[in-house]
């Protein structure tokens, strides 16, 4: 009927693609059909042609899932109730439109040898679907998909063309399926028609020596298409073998389609956007175009010998290039704090190197790793060298001397890792590492233990050193199961989707009879509200089993318990932890001329605890009320957060119940 319009849009801030359906009599009552970046719809192919179509009661669209395209079919019911004018009940001023989408069916084409679908056309009865598919052998052809029943996902697939030429645009009309193909003598894309009932007889509709695309068929069989001329891209018609120019615009009209009351729909390119417009046939210029016949025979693409081709060697230095390099550094007295991240990769980006180096104010506290990553196949693997710094609340003398302090562990060696992606969103990752471990104290703690200020206290450094001296052989194995559907916004970073990571770590020092296990769960979800405004919840929990030398969890107070000053280690470091954060983020100001610089406000709350025993977590619980700002500079965000700790547990409130200021530098799109 032409009353319904289906279109694809791209959000300029998030890059998310969406498919909408609306009735032109009430365009604000639109219905969201699908959005990509979520399981099942990895992408809706924003730069592809019109890979969606509809009839009066059914629609179909293409989306990628698991690395291959699927065709989704969905029936719908629409009602459009006329509403009379307020002052003239005999006239209709508006419509109450309701579109109810039915159950959706997915037709998996990969098992039939079709990896990608370029464009589709729904039959007038809404049941069958014609499409241009790319086979696993790299050839494009026209196919016909016929479902076996009305609600199942089994189907029959018929190949309507079978040649070395390429097809692209497609439409279904009363006299068959119209498509564009370069099976021409001049090599340009012209229009052809095939009857699904007799695919062997293909009729050529046009012969002009220029590319014709976006075919559409009107109810009377008239074929419309778009083509570039001297002024721009315009709509043309094919009637009785003649090509007629119907529009004359300076920019472009694309994707013509039948409209109501003898009009046509098209996308008008203007001011870097393409918006739907409706054109009355009375506005057609109806200018006949001379089209000389194409007397030459279509020639298949030529072959090129590969005898002189050189095999690609990813290990040659000439095939490598430096990637991104990030440096963040700061000075505090004689202490240096900073981080360097540098990458390199080969030209095909199947092989990469990642260097990460961080120092925390003391040369002894330097964390570094150099990792090689291989992404040639589905299983991603790699390996490298590392020097990992870990801290723990050391309670070796708490029972005997009522004293605790922070000790450190340096674990260094080599690591192997592998990741298997079940899909774009779910993965399983494992790693195995082996090397040496040594325990040490910073100078100030070492002096305090060796030279106690209280004359009644004893020298504790010597017994601590006796228990922790020497280099120990250590191995670690980890296994993680992750899910991530987080979508990004240009100005605020994460804005939609969920992320969950469950990880298990086992460590062993076989020659020192020491072993431990760690179990951790992290999760977050973002709720988009409007524009860059969003609300997120984040939580995590972890526990440690085994020897007292096991690594402990350190919660960064900048992102978890913001009412705790970063230096109050006893609130942030321990064998068990649990926390939850809720935060509302809303834009305050944005530089219009340079949109990557912006100011964002935040309101939130944190709660949680860190302890050495599970039963102590509840007693050490903390609640913070948070407000502040995020200042964005491209991919970097400067966070200025204020948190007010609130007493909700029996232990002392962090920072003596005073307002806590947090200043941190973070990556916006992590």
Convert the pLDDT of each residue in 49-99 to its tens digit: 899 999 989 999 999 998 899 999 999 999 888 888 888 888 888 888 999
- Please state, in angstroms and rounded to a whole number, the distance separating the CA atoms of residues 101 and 120: 20
Confidence check: pLDDT of 594 > 80: no
Confidence check: pLDDT of 593 > 70: no
Confidence check: pLDDT of 586 > 70: yes
What average pLDDT does this structure show over 405-424?
96
CB 495 within 8 A of CB 532: yes
Confidence check: pLDDT of 603 > 70: yes
* pLDDT for the residue 200: 86
Q: Which residue has the higher pLDDT, 607 or 459?
A: 607
Per-residue pLDDT tens digits for 131-162: 999 998 899 999 999 999 877 889 999 999 99
Residues paired with residue 515 on neighbouring β-strands, in sequence order: 508
* pLDDT for the residue 353: 97
Alpha-carbon distances of 45 from 5, 37, 129, 137, 275, rounded to whole Å: 19, 11, 19, 21, 18
Per-residue pLDDT tens digits for 311-363: 999 989 999 999 989 888 777 666 778 889 999 999 999 999 999 999 988 88
What average pLDDT does this structure show over 279-295?
88
CB 542 within 8 A of CB 553: yes
Confidence of residue 665 (pLDDT cuts 50, 70, 90): confident
CB neighbourhood size of 195 (10 A) = 14
Per-residue pLDDT tens digits for 22-55: 999 998 889 999 999 999 899 999 888 899 999 9
H or E segment at 192? strand 190-195
Share of the chain above pLDDT 70, in %: 99
* pLDDT for the residue 548: 92
* pLDDT for the residue 361: 84
Share of the chain above pLDDT 90, in %: 69
What's the mean per-residue pLDDT of the chain?
92
Per-residue pLDDT tens digits for 543-568: 999 999 999 999 999 999 999 998 88
* pLDDT for the residue 504: 98
Predicted TM-score of the model (pTM): 0.87
- Please state, in angstroms and rounded to a whole number, the distance separating the CA atoms of residues 580 and 525: 12
- Please state, in angstroms and rounded to a whole number, the distance separating the CA atoms of residues 197 and 660: 76
Q: Flag the least confident range among 46-60, 108-122, 453-467, 622-636.
A: 453-467
Q: Which residue has the higher pLDDT, 231 or 652?
A: 652
Confidence check: pLDDT of 596 > 80: no
DSSP 310: P
- Please state, in angstroms and rounded to a whole number, the distance separating the CA atoms of residues 268 and 1: 21
- CA-based R_g, the chain, Å: 33
Confidence of residue 597 (pLDDT cuts 50, 70, 90): confident
* pLDDT for the residue 150: 74
């Amino acid at each position: 009927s032409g009353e319904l319009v289906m279109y694809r849009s791209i959000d300029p801030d998030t890059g998310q693609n969406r498919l909408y359906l609306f009735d032109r009599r009430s365009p604000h009552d639109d219905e969201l059909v699908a959005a990509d970046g979520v399981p099942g719809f990895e992408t809706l192919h924003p730069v592809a042609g019109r890979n969606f179509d509809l009839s009066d009661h059914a629609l179909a669209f293409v989306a990628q899932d698991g690395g291959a395209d699927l065709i989704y079919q969905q029936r719908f019911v629409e009602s459009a109730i006329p509403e009379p004018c307020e002052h003239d009940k005999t006239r209709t001023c508006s419509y109450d439109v309701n579109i109810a989408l039915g159950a959706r069916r997915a037709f998996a084409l990969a098992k039939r040898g079709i990896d990608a679908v370029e464009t589709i056309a729904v039959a007038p009865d809404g049941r069958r679907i014609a499409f241009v598919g790319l086979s696993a052998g790299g050839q494009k052809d026209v196919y016909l998909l016929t479902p076996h029943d009305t609600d199942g996902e089994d189907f029959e697939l018929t190949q309507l063309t079978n040649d070395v030429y390429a097809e692209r645009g497609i439409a279904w009309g009363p006299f068959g399926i119209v498509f564009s193909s370069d099976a021409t003598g001049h090599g340009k894309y012209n229009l052809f028609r095939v009857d699904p009932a007799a695919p062997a007889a293909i009729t050529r509709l046009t012969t002009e020596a220029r590319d014709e695309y976006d075919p559409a068929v009107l109810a009377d069989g008239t074929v419309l298409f778009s083509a570039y001329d001297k002024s721009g891209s315009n709509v043309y018609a094919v009637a009785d073998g003649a090509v007629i120019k119907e529009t004359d615009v300076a920019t472009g009209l694309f994707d013509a389609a039948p409209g109501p009351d003898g009009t046509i729909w098209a996308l008008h390119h203007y001011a870097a956007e393409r918006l739907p417009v409706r054109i009355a046939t009375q506005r057609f210029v109806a200018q006949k175009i001379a089209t000389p016949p194409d007397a030459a025979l279509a020639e298949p693409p030529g072959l090129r010998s590969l005898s002189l081709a050189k095999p690609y060697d990813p290990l040659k230095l000439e095939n490598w290039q430096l990637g991104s390099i990030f440096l963040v550094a700061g000075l505090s007295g004689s202490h240096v704090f900073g981080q360097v991240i540098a990458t390199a990769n080969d030209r095909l980006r199947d092989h990469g190197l990642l260097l990460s180096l961080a120092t925390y104010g003391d040369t002894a506290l330097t964390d570094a790793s150099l990792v090689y990553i291989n992404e040639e196949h589905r299983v991603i693997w790699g390996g490298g060298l590392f020097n990992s710094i870990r801290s723990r609340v050391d309670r070796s003398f708490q029972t005997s001397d009522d004293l605790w302090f922070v000790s450190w562990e340096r674990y260094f060696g080599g690591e192997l890792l592998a990741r298997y992606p079940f899909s774009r969103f779910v993965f399983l990752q494992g790693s195995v590492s082996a090397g040496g471990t040594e325990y040490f104290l910073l100078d100030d703690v070492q002096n305090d233990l060796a030279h106690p200020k209280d004359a009644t206290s004893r020298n504790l450094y010597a017994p601590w050193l006796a228990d922790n001296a020497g280099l120990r052989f250590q191995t670690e194995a980890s296994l993680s199961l992750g899910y991530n559907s987080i979508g990004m916004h240009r100005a605020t970073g994460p804005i939609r989707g969920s992320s969950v990571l469950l990880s298990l770590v086992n460590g062993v020092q076989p020659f020192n009879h020491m072993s431990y296990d760690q179990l951790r769960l992290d999760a977050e979800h973002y709720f988009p509200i409007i524009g860059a405004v969003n609300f997120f919840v984040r939580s995590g929990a972890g526990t440690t089993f085994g020897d007292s030398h096991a690594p402990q969890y350190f919660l960064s107070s900048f992102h978890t318990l913001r009412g705790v000053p970063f230096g109050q280690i006893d609130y942030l470091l321990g064998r068990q932890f649990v926390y939850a954060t809720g935060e509302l983020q809303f834009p305050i100001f944005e530089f219009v001329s340079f949109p990557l610089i912006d100011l964002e406000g935040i309101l939130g709350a944190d709660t949680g605890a860190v302890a050495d025993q599970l039963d102590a977590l509840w007693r050490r619980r903390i609640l913070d009320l948070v407000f502040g700002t995020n200042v964005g500079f491209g991919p970097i965000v400067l966070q200025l957060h204020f948190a007010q700790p609130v007493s909700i547990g029996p232990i002392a409130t962090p920072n003596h119940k005073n307002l806590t200021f947090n200043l941190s530098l973070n990556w916006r799109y992590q």
